[in-house]
Structure formats: structure tokens, C-alpha cells
Structure 1
Amino acid sequence: MSSNRKTLSGGALVVMIILFVALMLVVNVLFRGARVDLTENNLYTLSPGTKEILSKLDEPINLYLFYSDKGTQNLPQLRTYATRVRELLEEMAARSDGHINLEVIDPLPFSEDEDRATTYGLQAVPVSAGGETIFLGLAGTNSTNGQAVIPFFQPEKEAFLEYDVAKLVHDLATPKKPAIALVSSLPMGVGFDPATRQMRDPWAIQQQLSQSFDVRDLNAAGIKSIDADINVLVLVHPKELSEDAQYAIDQFVLRGGHLLVFVDPDAELDTSGADPQNPQAAMFADHSSDLPKLFKAWGVDYDPKKIVLDRARAVAVSVGQGRAPVRHPGIIGLTAEDLNRDDVITANLDSINVSSSGYFGLAKDATGKLVPLMQSSGDAMSSAADRLRMLPDPSALLSDFNPSGERYVIAGRIEGKFKTAFPERTESGHLAESKDDGQIVIVADTDILSDRLWVQVQNFLGQKLMNAFANNGDFMLNAIDNLTGSSALISIRGRATSQRPFTTVEALKRSADDRFRAKEQELQRELQETERKLTELQGAKSSDQAMIMSPEQKAELDNFIKRKADIRKELRDVRRSLDAEIEALGSRLKFFNIVLVPLLVTLAAVGFAMWRVRRRTSA
């Protein structure tokens, strides 16, 4: 009987193993590619925009991830990020229906793989004084020999990792150079300058646009429609556009076209109204621009007679030879704090300069959303634009400065479904409302594009060298680059990062630093007080006793030395208490993870086993 039971138990065990293996094989076939993302911010779940891009691939794309696995053995943080990059690429390859072929390559020093990475244009980053370098970049190719690269995946850009990779795939899938239409009333291109009676060079931003895009200059007066192959329409200082031109812009936006608009309350390079016989004619001419009818339809609130003055970001300017520079609140130097770090256009920019800038808001009846890209500081106010005319001393703007406490939106995105500004029009194909959500990027300054605010152009041996001192040009290129992408690509926003900071530990450190700083300040105050008393005692002594320390001085000095030792001991106690709190926190976490959780699991398993035994016995 006992032998039969053992045989039966052994046979049952074999059958269970066979069934388990068979079940795993069936699950592997039926649920191949299935994943469950249990992370807090769904880090490993692709956004809908990325999925849409992958679903539209109709040709093979080869991705080559060059990652120095051996060279990063002593760089744990970079290795963790490399794993994040690789997992994202693997997820995208799995979702591409076989159109993406991923190859991971470890380019060892002096190998053919290293030469290959360099040929693609990937960046080798030095990691030691001995000249050792590592790679963590991506190269992509398509069936027509098109190439695109991400030279190096920077961990601090993890929030835009998915966007960068999705853009690379999108560019490879649509290799044609994006076409942008440029409508400008400012002298941005090559032309004749009546003031100097010479040919003028194009603005630096115009040259950069021509290198990256298929730029088509449109005459504002002749605009009747926008060609369907235009990816982005750029309006710079639109003045007195005809009804037909505005209607063409309106319908372009409603059918899903992407628009970038630069308006200005006072465009300083606007040459309209110039008269060589009357130098003051241009000075008193209207140099503002606006799109009142279109802005109203889009829910944008903008006053072309108002500018922003910012005391905290005022740029120092020269007011005359031999005079010290003065701060000009109308010329604003925006810093990284004033730029939207969650938007791909401005996320990695550090400084942007604007001059006589206006500002935007949402109208009360607006149905869309205004996402700020650039904002003034809180120490700002609005003012009449004509205050900047005939202004010999910009510091006069600070004499009656009264900040409103508001952060004015100098540039932003308008998102939502747009309605036509021309409901009375009945042309064939007329659209009354956009089918899908659209996006328009609006900027309340045109001087942001002028060379003087962001770049120095020098002539060196016949070559034009550009030395940028601000990110104005990068902003323009980023905005157009973002808008030239498909709606799916534009919809991809920055994601949360995989870095999980120890917030509790950081809070402990901040608290300890505050206490440490307070003790240091107390010590410094007592030192100053002691020096003051010693100086008073020294001053009360006669000249023949100047080099001899009096009993009062010696007592005061001894008292300070003793107090100094006590405070230093208290400072050490603060540091030790911080270490003790962190160690106690670590010990609690270790107890929970190593002892408590396994113990609870074990008790649950034992309880379940006992319940089954009791159930069998009762049966």
C-alpha cells in the first residue's frame, strides 16, 4: 500500500511537471510580447503618439545601439540608464510589427565597431584621465541609405528619451526635407540696405533655417492659400495682412497645419515708414504687429500696445562712451528658471534674450489651453510700448517700477480644437472647426530673432563664423523641428524619469544642513562679538602696554576659545545625528525587506498549508 502511494505520488509529480512545461509553452506562444508595466509612472509603456508612429512604418528601419558595456563597469548610474535606453528600444522594436531591427553593439577600443560608431557620428565621451572613452549613442538607417543619429544619450535628458528616439524613427520613415513657409515683414533675408547703400547679409537665423529645412518665402500680399505640402507656416511680424491671407492661415490651421507666430508691440528692426529725408519718420511710425481676428478665434488675449518690463531679468546696456552700463528692464535676459522644463522646445535651453516684448493670456471665453514656454520673473510689470521711444536713459524705467507679481507669458503653445475666424465664408472646402486638436506656438517678440540678441557673426578669411551667446536660435529651430513632426510626434511629452531619489534621506540632509548652518552663523556672530570686545579693550590701553595682553583680553579670548570648541562639538553632533538617522532608516528598510516581508510570506504559506491539511483531515 505504501509502495503504491509512493508510485502514485511520483507519477503525479511527473505529470504536474509535464503539465507545467506544456502550460508555459502555450503561454509563451499565446502571450508572446505581452507586458505588464507596474511602475508608478508607466515608464515602460509607450505613449499613444509613439505607437501611432510605429504603426505607420512601411519600410524596415535598422537601429544600432552602441553601448560600451565593458567600459562602464565602474559607472553604475550610467549602466542603469543604458538599461533604460535598451529596454525602450526593445519595446519599440517589439511594437513595430517587425519593421524595426535592433542591434546592440559594444564598441571595444581600437575595434572595427568603434570605427563604425565614429563614422556614424556618435560621440565618444572621456571617462578617465587616461583618455578612456565610452559610447552610448544610437544610429539609424532606412532602406534609402538615409541616416539619423543620437550622438549620446544624456541621463539628464531622460524625460525626453522617448521623444528623441521616436523623432529619429519618424525622420527615418519620412526622409524628405521638411518644407516650411516663411512670411516676414522684417528684412531677414539678403537684400539692399538703403541706410548703408550696400547689400545686407541674411540674419543668422535665416541661414540656419535654410540649412535644416526647405524654406519657401511667401509674399504676404499675394497669399491666397497655403500649399498642402507645407509642414509649418512661420509668421514673423505680420502687419496688415489681407482678408484672403488671414483666411488662408485660418484654414491651414483648421486642416491640421502647424503654425509658429512672432508678433511684437515694438519691432525694433521694422523699417516700415523709413524716409531718408526725414530720419524721425521711422521713429514715430507704428512698429507693432497683431493678428486680432485670428487671435480672437483662437482664444488668445494680446495687446499690441503693451510691453513687459522685468526688473529681475533686466540686461545691462551701454548708454554712452565713458558711462557705466545701466540695467534696461525692457531688454530681458530669460534664464533656465523662466523656460518650461517640461516642453521639448525649451527643456534644454539656458538663456534667451528678448527686447520690448509683449505678453499673452487666454481670453475669458477661450476653450483651448495656453502652455507657457517663456515667462518673465515675478518681479515684472506691464507698461505702454511707447515708453521705450526716445528713451535716453533706460534706468528711468525703474524709477516708478511697480511689479504686479504676475509672471507674463512671452511665448507659449495654444492647444485645443480651433474654430474659424471667418464663419461667413462659403468657399468650397471651407472648414468651420478643426477635426482634431491642434497646436500653435506664439511668441510676443520679433527681436528675439535678430542677431544682436543672441549671436556674434564674424568674418574670418572669407567665412562667416557664428558665436552664439544665447539660445534664441535654438528656440526657433527647436520649435520648427518639433512642429514639422507629425501630430503623433508633437503629442509626445516629457516622461517621468526612472531615477527614484531618496526623498526622506534628502529631507534629513536638508534639515541637518539648516541646523549646521545655524550653528556656523552663531559661531561667526560670537567671533565678531569677541573681536569687537578685544578691539575695545585694546583701544583702552596705553601705548606702552599695547603689545601686552590684559587679563580682561585674556579672559575674553579664553572664553571664546572654549565656546568655539563647544560649538564645533555641537556641529559634529549635528553631523553624527544625521548619520545616525540615515543608518536607522536604512536599518528599518533592511528589516522590512529582508526579515519582515519574507516572514509574512512564510507565515502565509505555512497558514495556507495548515489550512489544506486541516481540510483534508476533516474530509
Structure 2
Amino acid sequence: MKTATKTKKNYWQYLFLLGPFLILMGLTAGTVAGSWGIVPLGLIAAGAVLSVLGLVWQAYKTKWWKRRSTQAGTNAIAATLAVLVILGLINFLATRYQTRIDFTETGLYTLAPQSREIVQNLSQPVKVWVFDRNQNPQDRALLENYRRQGSQFSFEYVDPQTRPGIAQKFGVRSFGDVYVEAGNRRQFVQSVGQGRLSEVQLTTKIQQVTSDRAGKVYFLQGHGEVGIGEQSKLSSALNTLKDRNFAAEPLNLVQQAKIPQDATVVIVASPKRGLFPQEVKALSAYLERGGSLMLLLDPNTNPNLDSLLQNWGLTLDNRVIIDPAGQAIGFGPAFAVVDNYGQHPITQDFGNNLSIFGGARAIDSKPVTGVEATPILQTSAESWAESNIQSQPLQFNPQSDRKGPLTIGYALNRIVSAEPVANSAPKTTQARMVVIGNAQFAIDGLFEQQLNGDVFLNSISWLSSQDNKQTLSVRPKEQKQRRLNLTPLQINLLGWISLVILPVIGFACAVLLWWLRR
């Protein structure tokens, strides 16, 4: 009897093995016949039922769920699934919400605020064409950064040999040429055949190709001001103005009584001698009609602008500012270091970054009806205005000197007219003025230092934009080269330390630990 019962159980086991066989028969029949009728589907269904019953019977027979190994295996599977779910959720969130952290010194993999603002505020599609057979990963990463900022930006790599028509359309001369296109306007950016794509160049060209206006900046001449000719000390500043569609022209108010109507901004840069009364009157009249004036006034000079400045509530201090921070960074005590900026569009993105002013004077302000004056550049509390720059050593004298912090830059505006407009608020015209007690920060050599160029360019942008549509921000910075130059002795020493000395020390520590535990 026991043998017969055991045989029946074996028969049941073989019966369940027919399940996978029936499923295979059904799939074969359906595939060969080309149609899934009753027979193939019936075989598949019968095989599935037998397979499920076989699994249930086998589980009941072995009671595998009560085994310790099964419980451990179940816990391991659950933990594995949990890890997979967490990883999948992290990847989903990373794909949906991209967050990048740039730890490089100059923000090498992060676009400057100006670049982001320009791309985010594009009013028309802009496309960058890179004519090269190879795609530099760093250049492509930079272009991807631009594309992430706005849907109006795109880029494409083109092989000039396989698509000669497009290359001829842009006038490509060599592999690596980069062009930016907006509508019917195109600008050559640079050639990346022997280098990397520059964010500075690309942002500048995007701004040029999308700008629909060109401003004109007049520099007053005739009183020892910094010139704008071929040998000008302002060549860096003039080149950046050109990149932003500003044309620079000299202005002589002795030869012409009025400031030209096409003047976007008038700059008076470090006059060594006083202006004539009629020139001051012309500048005042220019402001009264809604003009924009930038005054860069070094100490120990008398530009004869007191009457104009007093109408705006400003007074010049003729003493030279001394700042120990300038000495600490290697420039000298007469270089004022600024990291405190006012809440103004010119300086809104400066944070606590530095700007440097060599030989600066303080400016005082008092309230004037209708004039809004904002201090934009302020020195530290350790600085002071020195009355005797020739004294040695330079020390603060409370009887004759003035303790910091000192304001060396103001941005001012006043409403000069309000024209009524039907069914809307009156259209106002503002006169704007930026006064800085220093001009040396804008000359070659200092213009490229820290935020000096940004102070100059943002001031011009604010002065020239009555509609407040001009982008004001920090310019993109070029990559800094950081190389470690080692002598042969240092290289050998580094090799011995990493390959011999450190491994021997580690092995000795391990032996000592083993000996102590033994």
C-alpha cells in the first residue's frame, strides 16, 4: 500500500511537468499557423494552469516558507528591491530636477550671471554653429550650459566637408570656426581649432547679434582727460564698449556749444584742468533734457564742476584715500579696495567681490529734492582720506585726515519731465549720472582686475538704458591656468613618497597592530 501511494505522488509530479510542455506546444502552434485560435490558446491556458498547480503543490509539500534560509533570502530580496527603488527614485529626481555644483576656482563649469540673463531673455531663436569634424567635450559642455538656460538657444556641430553648402553660406575658412546666428544676422565668434570655446566671446557675440540698437559714447577732451586715440590707456574699455555695440567718439565743447543729439552717454574721464563755464553749462543743459553723464574725477584736481555737482547734492573731497588692504594685496596703500556695494542695478550681482581704485577721492552727498542718490562704492572702516600723501610713514591723523568708511561712487537719477499719455501713466524722462572719485580703475592693466571692468561697463549700461532693458551683471571670466611646475628632484621625491615611503609606513603600522593584538 505504501509503495502504491508513493507511486501516485510521483505520477502527480510528472503530471505537473506537462505544464511548461503544453505552453511550448501552444506557442509553437500559434506561431506556425500564423493565427491564435482556440487550440493554441487552449494549450497555453492548460499549461499555465498545470504549472501554477504544480508550484502550489510543491510549496505545500516542502513548506519552504517556514525555512530559515527562505526567510533570510526573502529579507535579502526585499532589501535589494528597496535599494533598487531608492536608486531609481534618485535617478528620476536627478533627471527631472538637475542640480550641478561647480567647485572650480573661477566657476569654470558655471555660466556667469550675464551669460545666463542674456540667454534667458532672448526674444528670438539664437543658434551657434560649430564647423568642425570633432566635438570637444568641454566646448560641448559649455554649449549645453547655455542651452539649459533658455529654449531659444540651440547649437549644432557641422562637418564642412560633408555639408559644404552650409559652410559656404557662413564663409567658413577653416575647421573649428564658430558662428552665432539670429534671424538674418550672423557673427563670427572664434576658431576653436587650436583652443577652447570662450564664454566671454560667445556671450559678447550673442549680445551683438541680438541687439537692435547701437549707442554712442562721447568722451570729453581738451582738459588733459584720458584720450581715446590709437595709443589710449582706455583701449580695453573701448574694445569692450565696441563689443556691446557702443561707438566711442571724442567731444570738444569749445568747438561746439551743445552736446550732440545722438549722445547716449557723455564721459568726463580725469580732467587735469578745469572746464570752462560754457562747457559746464552745456553738460547741465544735457542733463536737463534727460541725458546721461559719467564723471570719473581723480583727487588733486579741480575740474570746475562744483556748481553742477551741487545741484545734485554732491561734494568732492580732494584728499587721497589710503587703504591698508591695497598694501596687503600688493598694489600699495593708495589703492582703495572695495567690497561693499550699494543696492543698485549697477552692483546688484557683485556680492562681496573686490574692485580696486588707485588714487581715489571720497564723495559726499546731501539730500536734494527730486534727486535719488545711491552710494555704489564704499571703502572699508580701516581706510582714511589722507591730507598729506607725501608724509612718511602714512598714518591716520585725526586733526587733518578723515576716517573711513568712505564713499567713492554714486549713481544718481532725477525726473526732468513727465509727458502725459492717454489712458496710461505719464511717460517720464530721467537724467542719470554716475560719479566716481577715480578714473584709474578703467585704464589698461587695472580694467581687467577683479570687478573693475564690471563697474565701468555696468555704469555705461545703466546710464544708456532709460527703458531698463539692458543687461547689468558680472561679465563672464576667462579660465585661469593653474599649473604645478616641479623640478626633477621634487618629482623623484614625490615618487619615492607615494610608491615606497607611504606603503612601508602602512605596512609597519599593520605589523605593529598585529603584534599588539597578539
Normalised TM-score (structure 2): 0.49
Normalised TM-score (structure 1): 0.42
